[in-house]
A and B are shown apart, each in its own frame.
Chain A
Amino acid sequence: MRGTTRTVAVAVMSAAALLAAGCGSGSGSGSTTAGKDGGEITIHGCTPENPFVPANTNETCGGNVLDAVLAKLVHYNPDTAAPENDIADAIETKDNQTFTIKLKKGYKFQDGTEVKAHNFVDAWNWNRDGKNGTLNSYFFDPIEGSADMDCGPGADKKPDCTAHPAKASKLSGLKVVDDYTFTIKTTEKVSNLPVRLGYTAFAPLPDSFFADGGKSFGTKPIGAGPYTFEKYDQGSQIALVKNKDYSGKFPGHADKLTFKIYTDTEAAYKDVQAGQLDLLDSIPTSALAGDKYKTDLPDRNLNKPVGVFQSIAFPKATADPTYQNKDLRHALSMAIDRDTIIKQVLNNTKKPATGWVSPVVDGYKAGACGDYCKYDKAKAKEAFTKAGGYNGTITLSYNANGDHKAWTEAVCNSIKDALGVTCVATPIAEFSDFRKQINSGTMKGMFRTGWQMDYPSIENFLAPLYGTGAGSNDSGYSNPDFDKKLTEAAAATDPATANKDYQDAEALLAADMPVIPMWYSTATVGWSDKVTNVKVTPFGTFDLSAVSLK
């Protein structure tokens, strides 16, 4: 989610690709020379969209900063994305519904207070509370009692916390057992709950947060992470310094981290070339073209697959019923020459999708889409004829403020060439207008969609996108068999069984094809000659515990 939102924030200002990234091997580390501790490292940053409140931070500009400041129960392994315990000492469950969390002792917030069980429970209650109206409240929906935290509907059917306050101000599923233990009870079975707990919104909050409802916290966040927030100079930079009291396993090497704010990655790229910026997490398209960055930044660049899946969605039947024929959907998918588009237009920064789940998560199985995602003009034409053709013009809408013009046009040309039907890539000026039409179910014709995982789980690529009535089910897909498989997977106590169930669910999508899988993204990053040991996480961010000055 964060990545896609970030696309809006930054792409508005720039012609540069954001989710676009490099190709190549997925090896984790850049250079292996031992670095030294101390010093200052500057990192490409952008203007945060919201105050630094974890529950209200859903984009990378603020999120990357918060991730260095906050410690969470689990930490994602920068190579494998697997969750590793951070503040948590143990997360135990027997039935995927009641989880007991034991905390390590000795973690301290940067204001000196110790991290205790109530800091989690209070934080999550606040985050989910209807009257606080947070952006990330839906992360807490699986917890028992979450529905009672919503305010009742007022006269205009919108939540009205004054006239109809919520039934509860605490999640009934959260219980503090002792200072270092608490339990979570979920409404339904959730086999991958521990994986989710590394997301920013699950971070513990110090007692001082609640004194003014997060107001002062929003300008100077306090966490138990490796770096302490020093100050935010509007439009210029965000400075962090090393947390001397940090007791966790993932400390950083540099004494100071400075996120320098840019509106355009082109400018940031020039600064990396000139040694004015150390770490850049997205190389601009102009430098990706012809692999220029490899000569501009020799041995100072890296590609790594990230948890981003991009697709072309079909409109909801209520808005535009002309794309419901499954043969038509298959014909369109097989008419797209993904390999050539990736090579010619996307500078090899993507991998052709063979299914709906990103390869970076546990449980990924290649080939779920089968032949339907392979370019084959003859088969495409055959399916197209079987579907009875398409009467009129096929459209593919995209938001013009992202870097989508070139590839959508190439996709349309490919469809035109294979099927002999008119296809037009249609820009919609703003992301907000684009999403409004999709969310309200009025979008006609095909449209682009992109998904960055919230947490590294196969479930995150399926349930929120294709489950009946799910939040991001843009095509209005509904398949009882698919929903049933998801429920089974969530109940499975054995991870292998759960993964198998999710894979079965994914396989069901091939026949119905609610969205056409396009490609998986990789991140292409670059750095200055001052730093070493640069690693990139499957989220496309830098592993700040690895990088150091030379």
Chain B
Amino acid sequence: MTDNVRTVVETTEKEPADKDVPRSLFSDAWRELKHRPMFWISLGMILFFVVMAAVPSLFTRGDPTEAILKLGSTPPSSSQWFGRDLQGYDIYTRTIYGARASILVGVFATLLTSAIGVVIGVIAAFYGGILDTIMMRITDIFFAIPFLLGGILFMSSFPNTKDSTYFAVVGKVVLVLSILGWPSIARLMRGSVLQVKPNDYVQAARALGASPWRVIRSHILPNAWAPVIVVSMINLGAFISAEASLSFLGIGLTYPAISWGVAISDALTYIRTAPWMLLFPSLFLSLAVLAFIMLGDVIRDAFDPKTR
């Protein structure tokens, strides 16, 4: 894109006149972010979980598959901090090892649903007309497919065998959650874009001949993605739990995957007798979601052109 478009656009956005260093949206955002403690806290937490997911053995020397049935359902104590679950697995070790599948499922399902949803939503709203009609009606059809039906069908079309690799098992769960989860994001994005589109700066950029891609990237997305970020970050937690409902139906993560969601769903029956089985995986799940919600908040703030 030509420079004059950028200038025009920046003036319409009431950018502070800082002509010496032409700044991109990203460097702007970065300047803003690095002064926010919230950013570093949330990033630190996420890093912590990522390390836990990548190298769980750093945090525990236990074996997550070692089941001592005789000790099943023993409450937390000094020797086993989080207690043991029904099967006699050590809950601390299981929770550490469960981070990998849960974080993978949560993050990738969120990324994929957001990606599909944003693309569909932006195109539908930006171009409008027949394209909007077709895309939104396809969205409606996808929205109508019951989760159970789509889930069972997908998983039985690509069944896990005893030789399936870890990433194939997790990848399929991510795919099924994404295929069935994107329509609401698409609608949300479309609504936001519809609201941003009539703004002067968008109209001006279009009138000046900016390419659609550039208008979308520089003017529409930064102003329209707030709702999607909010919903996606909450979805992240929802996906981690949804994975459990798939597993509960026998179509989710299977051996050798261990996850928070499955631990939570298995613990529900025993909430009256062994609440610690539910407490610890839930706690880790909410901490992870908290980190992502906070990060979502600061990033959205930083990228918001209106703050400048």
Contacts and interface: CB of A to CB of B under 8 A. Distances in A.
Contact of A15 (B155, B269, B272): B269
A529 B135 CA distance: 59
A282 B273 CA distance: 19
10 contacts: A286-B268, A286-B270, A289-B270, A289-B272, A290-B272, A344-B88, A401-B249, A424-B162, A426-B254, A428-B250
Contacts of A285: 269
A286 B272 contact: yes
B69 A341 contact: yes
Given A344-B88, A399-B250, 20 more contacts: A15-B268, A286-B270, A286-B272, A289-B269, A289-B272, A289-B273, A290-B272, A292-B273, A345-B72, A345-B87, A395-B162, A400-B248, A400-B249, A401-B249, A413-B87, A413-B88, A424-B162, A425-B255, A429-B250, A433-B156
B229 interface: no
A417 B63 CA distance: 13
B72 A344 contact: yes
Nearest to B85: A406
Contacts of A392: 162
Interface in A396-414: 399-401, 405-406, 409-410, 413-414
A15 B271 CA distance: 13
Interface residues of A, number: 33
A393 interface: yes
B152 A413 contact: no
A292 B87 CA distance: 19
B95 to A, nearest CB: 18
A86 interface: no
B193 interface: no
B249 A406 contact: no
Interface string B265-308: 01011111110000000000000000000000000000000000
A337 interface: yes
Interface string A256-296: 00000000000000000000000000000111011010000
Nearest to A292: B272
A427 interface: yes
Top 4 A-B pairs, shortest CB-CB distance: A400-B250, A427-B250, A290-B273, A344-B72
Contacts, number: 78
A17 to B, nearest CB: 9
A340 interface: yes
A151 to B, nearest CB: 34
Contacts of A504: none
A337 B67 CA distance: 13
B251 interface: yes
Nearest to B246: A429
A424 B65 CA distance: 11
Given A345-B86, A406-B86, A406-B87, A413 B70 contact: no
Given A290-B272, A426-B254, A406 B266 contact: yes
Nearest to B265: A15
Given A406-B86, A406-B87, A429 B69 contact: no
Contacts of A344: 69-70, 72-73, 86, 88
Contacts of B272: 286-287, 289-290, 292
A401 B155 CA distance: 15
B201 to A, nearest CB: 51
Interface in A10-47: 15
A399 B249 CA distance: 9
Interface residues of B, number: 26
Nearest to B148: A429
Contacts of B271: 286
Interface in B225-260: 248-251, 254-255
A430 interface: yes
A424 B249 contact: no
Interface string A427-466: 1111001000000000000000000000000000000000
A164 B248 CA distance: 47
Contact of A393 (B162, B254, B266): B162
Interface in B41-99: 67, 69-70, 72-73, 86-88
Given A401-B249, A429-B155, A424 B255 contact: yes
Contacts of A429: 152, 155-156, 249-251
Interface string A360-392: 000000000000000000000000000000001
A344 B74 CA distance: 10
Nearest to A344: B72
B238 to A, nearest CB: 20
A274 B274 CA distance: 24
A340 B70 contact: yes
A414 B87 contact: no
Contact of A410 (B69, B266, B269): B69
Most chain-B Cβ atoms within 10 A of its Cβ — which of A344, A417, A424? A344
Contact of B67 (A15, A286, A410): A410
Interface string A216-256: 00000000000000000000000000000000000000000
Contacts of B86: 344-345, 406
A414 B69 contact: yes
B158 to A, nearest CB: 13
Contacts of A405: 266
B117 to A, nearest CB: 27
Contacts of B88: 344, 413
Contacts of A433: 156
Most chain-A Cβ atoms within 10 A of its Cβ — which of B86, B162, B266, B269? B269
A409 B162 CA distance: 15
Nearest to A17: B269
B71 to A, nearest CB: 9
A430 B149 CA distance: 12
A401 B248 CA distance: 8
A424 B253 CA distance: 13
Contacts of A430: 152, 250
Contact of A340 (B69, B255, B270): B69
Contacts of B152: 429-430
Contacts of A409: 87
B248 to A, nearest CB: 7
Contacts of A425: 255
Contacts of B251: 400, 427, 429
Contacts of B248: 15, 400
A401 B269 contact: no
A292 B273 CA distance: 8
Contacts of A414: 69
A268 to B, nearest CB: 16
Nearest to A395: B162
Contacts of B268: 15, 286
Contacts of B67: 410, 413, 417
A61 to B, nearest CB: 22
A424 B255 CA distance: 7
A417 B254 CA distance: 20
Contacts of B270: 286, 289
Contact of B254 (A410, A413, A427): A427
A264 to B, nearest CB: 12
A399 B268 CA distance: 19
Interface string A294-314: 000000000000000000000
A140 to B, nearest CB: 36
Contacts of B250: 399-401, 427-430
A549 to B, nearest CB: 30
Contacts of B70: 340, 344
Contacts of A426: 162, 254-255
Contacts of B266: 405-406
